[in-house]
Amino acid sequence: MSDSHSHSDILLCQRCNKNHASVISRKEKFCTDCFRNFVSLKQRKQMMSDQYYQDIFKVMYKDKLRSEQDAHLQNLNSKILVPLSFGSSSLVMLDILNDTLLEQSITHRGKTGFTVDVIICFHDEQIQNQIKENVSKLINAKYKENNQKIKFHLVDINQFFDNSPHLQSLVLQETDFLIKSLNLKDQSIIEKKLTLSEILDQCSDRSTYQDLLAFVTKHAIKKYAFQHDFKAILWGHSMTRLADEVISLIVKGRGSAISSSLNTDDFDENYGNKFKNLYPLKDILLTEIDAYCYNSGLHNYLINYNIQDALLVNKINQNTDKIQTNSLKNKTINELARNYFEVIEGDYSNVISTVVRTGDKLAEPKSQENFKISKCNLCMQKIYSDPSQWITSITENKGHPLETDEEKENYQRWKNYNNDKLKNSEMDFFRLNEFVKENGSKACLCYGCTITLNTFKDKSVVWPVHDDKELNSVLEDYVLTDHEE
Amino acid sequence: MFTAPSDPVNVRKELKVTQLCELCHSRKAIIRRPKNLQKICKLCFFHVFETEIHETIVSNDLFYRGERVAVGASGGKDSTVLAYVLKLLNERHDYGIEIVLLSIDEGIVGYRDDSLATVKRNQQQYQLPLEIFSYQDLYDWTMDDIVETAGIRNSCTYCGVLRRQALDRGAAKLEIKHVVTGHNADDMAETVLMNILRGDVARLEKSTSIMTSSTGSPIKRSKPFKYCYQKEIVLYAHYKKLDYFSTECTYAPEAFRGTARELMKNFEAIRPSCIIDIIASGESFVLKQKMGKQNKKKIITYNDGNRCERCGYLSSNKICKACMLLEGLEKSRAQIKIQVQVPGEPQQEGPAKVLRTLERLTF
């Protein structure tokens, strides 16, 4: 990389002592190559963190444990899935995986220990063309040599509803925070509500919107991994991203899910125990990833992502007047947590790693006495205690008695108003909700989802029933090659 | 007499149905509860506020009949409301407890002396006995002296450690075994966040417990306001016209805690229920069992009943934290003090007093 050096005091890389430093990170100066190496080694360290992952990524040969054919098969079957969002992290992770494959190919005479399938999820038609274009550019510019080892798949997450054999209506009863659910076998009742965007539009705030979208995307990725026998999903989460995930989970009342969402040791229970989840960029800060991204020219492939130049010696200086797109009120919980870490990184640099390490120390919660652990109908997380019981135990739901005649009169007016509303209501949904409340069965929702449902406009949602049928209903994908334009 | 044509005074306006309280459906809603976003009227608010605290007390068995309970009273909104509500509930539901107000005088001129005046008025208003213990008597230091010696940065560390002990010692002197404090849901949520941000693993599991007691200590502590939003406490004090002292301590909170507090305020602005949600998360925290070589080496034999060798106060180490801090202070005092403070003379002006005077200056 050529940098323009007009300063007399040129910084030298502290690793090689030869090249000019282009990045300053963790109080150390790095040249572009040494920094790439630094980040790359951290990722590879995670990829070698235990036997399971070593078996995936290493090139296997005949040894005491396996015959030549076994070794060959193992190399062939070591398929990993990489979700690509076209943010800096997933692009950098893919780049390092590509380097690893190239290196293996060279040192092992064409053999590699694993193959990569990249999954790109979208729900917005408009972005589809840009994705195709970027993939094509990426393949041509970067991944030509690994053509056979890295494949790109495009998945439309709008299939979330079309793909679900059974739908259920989940309704929150405000008085006792119980959830009632009803299987909607006859989908015609709710015909017009079946698209993902319509469900998302019910969210009253951006935070809930993004959470649902994130869940649907994650579900599609994991389902894809389940259906195509992948050994592991490699998530591009940086240390910063994981820290904001931990804080956001706590703030959303989903603290009990921290241990399972950071779990890289066990197979994913919700998806048939077929694959594990790994966060290879766990030890790298987002600012470092952005610096890598920029120095490696990957910033040309970003979609909807603002790259930071905090660690670069020569600032990018493109748009110094950072556009403040959102006011505080319009930010999501994750964005607020992210902002906090961005600000705090300067004064208390170890906070981010502390949060991730502390999150790692959390275990699966103990279940409440006499409570059978169940799964959330919405997000599939395990439930360890009854959220409605907890909420009602700390919330009084009766009011002060009526005293004056005027109050009694007002009460009567309210009663009449409500009856009229029920009678005259032409909204299918209002009726459906009342119907579900009366005829539905008690459903399990985790605390976080109960709170989410409470923020919904009509305190209800139509959602797929997560069962084996749903998990096995084929998710269609579209393979992208460099010829796509 | 002329009345403006639009004068609404004598016009009886019928409330819209949508304006009505969501609990009684008969009075005008004036509060939106942050916990569940319900719009409720003043009377229902009093009812739910008091009932929820009663429920917390009953379901957690906080008190037993005949128990003597000390309310840590600072004169601030939380402890004032706590004293008021406890007295009210004790009479209404016949808990059969004896309530004593216990105040600690940290020796912050211009802040604590004013708030103590409030506590003294509360004593009269609620007809409860009041005991005041001062840092000066217990440790021979006031907070003003400490700040002068150790600087303002760590003031909260000193004050926190010393006050915790002072409350225990005060209670012990009064032969009371139960101290209740006005810690509210906001405080608790902030603590959960702080423990995660600081990686304070030792406190993580216990950070949301409503009652804390050590096997070696006869004094237990509890927080009946664990599930009460600060906003609701303020509103309650406001609508009940309680007499409380509303100034923040002049010594600013620790810088890092300040950042966590601001973060939480931001969260609260976009999702008011988040405070209870954070507590819900905090209650589920369980640590992984320690395993592996690294941890085998340092198995901390934490003995719950250990006592400080110097003061005899409960401590996990040989010498308790308060004694350690005081020892450090003594060293600095000997070198720095220039003026000799004559015992019995009125206290010198502390930085808080100066700040307060500055605040009141007008042009």
CA A409 to mean position of chain CA atoms: 52
Residue in B21, B59, B199 nearest the CB of A399:
B21
CA pair distance A252, A243, nearest whole angstrom = 14
- Check residues B206 and A92 and name the one with the higher pLDDT: A92
If phi over 0 gives left and psi between -120 and 50 gives alpha, with beta otherwise, what is residue A304? left
Strand B220-222 with B178-180, pairing: parallel
B23 touches chain A (CB under 8 A): yes
Going by pLDDT thresholds of 50, 70 and 90, the confidence category of residue A316 is confident
Q: Is residue A54 scored above 90 in pLDDT?
A: yes
Task: Kindly list the domain boundaries of chain A, sorted by start residue.
Answer: 36-166+196-313+330-365+467-480
Q: Is residue A429 scored above 90 in pLDDT?
A: no
Handedness of CA B331, B334, B337, B343 (dihedral sign): positive
Q: What are phi and psi of A379, to 5 degrees?
A: -105, 0
| Pure H helices in A108-232 | 125-141, 159-162, 196-201, 206-227
Domains of chain B: 61-284 (3.40.50.620)
Q: Which residue of A has its CA nearest to B260?
A: A340
CA pair distance A122, A18, nearest whole angstrom = 44
pLDDT of residue A325: 56
Going by pLDDT thresholds of 50, 70 and 90, the confidence category of residue A5 is very low
CATH superfamily assigned to domain A36-166+196-313+330-365+467-480:
HUPs (3.40.50.620)
Extract the tokens encoding A140.
């041509």
- Check residues B147 and A192 and name the one with the higher pLDDT: B147
Residue in A332, A344, A411 nearest the CB of B259:
A344
Burial status of residue A194 (CB atoms within 10 A of its CB: 0-12, 13-18, 19 or more):
middle
Half-sphere exposure of A171 (CA within 13 A, CB side): 22
Residue in B47, B284, B287 nearest the CB of A361:
B287
Select from A250, A265, A357, A385 the residue whose CB has the most chain B CBs within 10 Å, as the one to mutate to test that interface.
Answer: A250
A456, A203 contact by CB (below 8 A) = yes
If phi over 0 gives left and psi between -120 and 50 gives alpha, with beta otherwise, what is residue B25? left
A and B: number of Cβ contacts within 8 A = 172
Residues of A within 8 A of B36 (CB-CB) are 174, 391, 395, 454
| Mean pLDDT across A322-333 | 73
Residue in A255, A336, A447 nearest the CB of B285:
A255
pLDDT of residue A440: 84
Annotate A409-436 with b (16+ C-beta within 10 A) or e (fewer): ebbebbeeeeeeeeeeeeeebeebbebb
| A184 beta partners | A167
Burial status of residue B88 (CB atoms within 10 A of its CB: 0-12, 13-18, 19 or more):
middle
pLDDT of residue B335: 55
Residue in A328, A351, A400 nearest the CB of B269:
A328
CB–CB of B281 and A366 under 8 A? no
Extract the tokens encoding B162.
């010393």
Residues of B within 8 A of A400 (CB-CB) are 23-24, 41, 43-44, 46-47
Geometric angle at alpha carbon A222, from A187 and A298, rounded to 5°: 120
Burial status of residue A396 (CB atoms within 10 A of its CB: 0-12, 13-18, 19 or more):
middle
CB–CB of A414 and B25 under 8 A? yes
Spatial CA neighbour of B47 closest among B110, B92, B15, B77: B92
To the nearest whole Å, the CA of B23 is away from the closest chain A CA by 5
pLDDT of residue B301: 47
Dihedral angle, C-alpha B353, B354, B357, B362, nearest 10 °: -160
pLDDT of residue A118: 97
CB–CB of A414 and B17 under 8 A? yes
Q: Which residue of B has its CA nearest to A338?
A: B263
CB–CB of B288 and A363 under 8 A? yes
A336-348 confidence digits (pLDDT tens) = 999 999 988 888 8
pLDDT of residue B8: 60
CB–CB of A251 and B278 under 8 A? yes
CA pair distance A334, B134, nearest whole angstrom = 45
| B159 beta partners | none
Q: Which residues of chain B have pLDDT under 70?
A: 1-12, 214-217, 252, 291-305, 334-353, 355-356, 363
A351-389 confidence digits (pLDDT tens) = 999 999 999 999 999 888 888 889 999 999 999 999 999
pLDDT of residue B309: 83
Residue in B47, B196, B276 nearest the CB of A247:
B196
| Averaged pLDDT of chain A | 89
To the nearest whole Å, the CA of A133 is away from the closest chain B CA by 37
pLDDT of residue B12: 63
- Of A22-36, A273-287, A410-424, where does mean pLDDT reach its minimum? A410-424
Q: Which residue of A has its CA nearest to B58?
A: A393
Q: Which residue of A has its CA nearest to B203?
A: A358
Q: What is the 8-class DSSP label of residue A235?
A: -
* Interface subset of B 303-332, CB within 8 angstroms of A: none
pLDDT of residue A85: 95
Q: Which residue of B has its CA nearest to A396?
A: B48
A120, A64 contact by CB (below 8 A) = no
A274-301 confidence digits (pLDDT tens) = 999 999 999 999 999 999 999 999 999 9
B352 touches chain A (CB under 8 A): no
CA A281 to mean position of chain CA atoms: 14
Q: Which residue of B has its CA nearest to A328?
A: B266
A336 touches chain B (CB under 8 A): yes
- Of A186-200, A328-342, B209-223, where does mean pLDDT reach its minimum? A186-200
pLDDT of residue B348: 55
B59 touches chain A (CB under 8 A): yes
CB–CB of B270 and A447 under 8 A? no
CA pair distance B119, B99, nearest whole angstrom = 14
The secondary structure element, H or E, covering residue A34 is helix A32-47
| Averaged pLDDT of chain B | 85
What residue type is B23 in one-letter code? L
Residues of A within 8 A of B92 (CB-CB) are none
CB–CB of A363 and B46 under 8 A? no
B46 touches chain A (CB under 8 A): yes
What residue type is A77 in one-letter code? N
- Check residues B26 and A204 and name the one with the higher pLDDT: B26
pLDDT of residue B49: 97
The secondary structure element, H or E, covering residue A24 is strand A23-25
Q: How far is CA B41 from CA A223, A454, B27, B92, in A?
A: 49, 21, 6, 22
Going by pLDDT thresholds of 50, 70 and 90, the confidence category of residue A35 is very high
CA B354 to mean position of chain CA atoms: 25
Residues of B within 8 A of A247 (CB-CB) are 193, 196-197
- The whole-model pTM stands at 0.89
Q: What is the DSSP string of A326-352?
A: --GGG--HHHHHHHHHHHHHHH-TTHH
* Interface subset of A 141-200, CB within 8 angstroms of B: 174
Residue in B41, B46, B288 nearest the CB of A362:
B288
CA pair distance B355, B363, nearest whole angstrom = 16
CA pair distance A25, A23, nearest whole angstrom = 6
pLDDT of residue A186: 56
CB–CB of A362 and B55 under 8 A? no
Q: Is residue A6 scored above 80 in pLDDT?
A: no
Residues of A within 8 A of B259 (CB-CB) are 340, 343-344, 348
A456-473 confidence digits (pLDDT tens) = 878 888 899 988 888 888
To the nearest whole Å, the CA of A250 is away from the closest chain B CA by 5
CB–CB of B288 and A351 under 8 A? no
- Percent with pLDDT over 70 in chain A: 92
CB–CB of B274 and A333 under 8 A? yes
ipTM of the complex: 0.92
Q: What is the SS3 assignment for chain B?
A: CCCCCCCCCCCCCCCCHHHECCCCCCCECCEECCCCCCEECHHHHHHHHHHHHHHHHHHCCCCCCCCEEEEECCCCHHHHHHHHHHHHHHHHHCCCCEEEEEEEECCCCCCHHHHHHHHHHHHHHHCCCEEEEEHHHHHCCCHHHHHHHHCCCCHHHHHHHHHHHHHHHHHHHCCCCEEECCCCHHHHHHHHHHHHHHCCHHHHCCCCCCEECCCCCCCEEECCCCCCCHHHHHHHHHHCCCCCCCCCCCCCCCHHHHHHHHHHHHHHHHCCCHHHHHHHHHHCCCECCCCCHHHHHCCCCCCCCCECCCCCCECCCCCCHHHHHHHHHHHHHHHHCCCCCCCCCCCCCCHHHHHHHHHHCCC
Q: How far is CA B126 from CA A17, B81, B101, B105, in A?
A: 75, 11, 10, 20
- Check residues A411 and B315 and name the one with the higher pLDDT: A411
| Mean pLDDT across A395-411 | 92
A83, A221 contact by CB (below 8 A) = yes
pLDDT of residue A326: 60
Residues of A within 8 A of B20 (CB-CB) are 410, 414
Going by pLDDT thresholds of 50, 70 and 90, the confidence category of residue A8 is very low
pLDDT of residue A370: 84
pLDDT of residue A224: 96
* Interface subset of B 197-226, CB within 8 angstroms of A: 197-199, 201, 204
A442 touches chain B (CB under 8 A): no
Q: Is residue A484 scored above 50 in pLDDT?
A: no
Q: Is residue A399 scored above 80 in pLDDT?
A: yes
CB–CB of A454 and B269 under 8 A? no
What residue type is A145 in one-letter code? E
pLDDT of residue A3: 46
Half-sphere exposure of B166 (CA within 13 A, CB side): 28
CB–CB of B27 and A252 under 8 A? no
- Of A33-37, A62-66, A183-187, A405-409, where does mean pLDDT reach its minimum? A183-187
Residues of B within 8 A of A408 (CB-CB) are 26
CA pair distance A214, B214, nearest whole angstrom = 44
Residues of A within 8 A of B277 (CB-CB) are 251-253, 447-448, 451
CB–CB of A250 and B281 under 8 A? yes
CB–CB of B26 and A414 under 8 A? yes
What residue type is B134 in one-letter code? S
* Interface subset of B 247-266, CB within 8 angstroms of A: 256, 259, 263, 266
| DSSP-derived 3-state class of residue A448 | helix
B153 touches chain A (CB under 8 A): no
To the nearest whole Å, the CA of A330 is away from the closest chain B CA by 8
Select from A209, A242, A396 the residue whose CB has the most chain B CBs within 10 Å, as the one to mutate to test that interface.
Answer: A396
